[in-house]
Amino acid sequence: MLLKAVDYRKKEDCPDKIMWLKGDILNGSHQVIGDHTRCANYFCDGTDKRNFKNLVPELEECGLFQNLKDTSRLLSDNSSSLLEDVDSNYA
């Protein structure tokens, strides 16, 4: 999911592509558990949206969804590095 979003946004000639990638990453916490209402058209088609149960309400009820969103937010804060292929690996 993340790689598809990064690859797509890298190819865009748009000054807002970092902002759009952040949104894609934040949406990932919804998409991976069946809520496709926020998915961009490039990312998933109608088939994806119909074939999965939306588990967001269940995960919100037990408190796990907030953890997933927090993790997505940490990753989205590094969107510009993802677009520039920057990492912290010195090897």
Q: pLDDT digit string (tens) for 10-54? A: 998 889 999 999 999 998 888 888 888 888 888 776 555 566 788
In 3D, which of 44, 70, 48 has the Cα closest to residue 59?
A: 70
Q: Are 15 and 76 in contact (CB under 8 A)?
A: no
Return mean pLDDT, the chain.
84
In 3D, which of 66, 55, 7, 47 has the Cα closest to residue 31?
A: 55
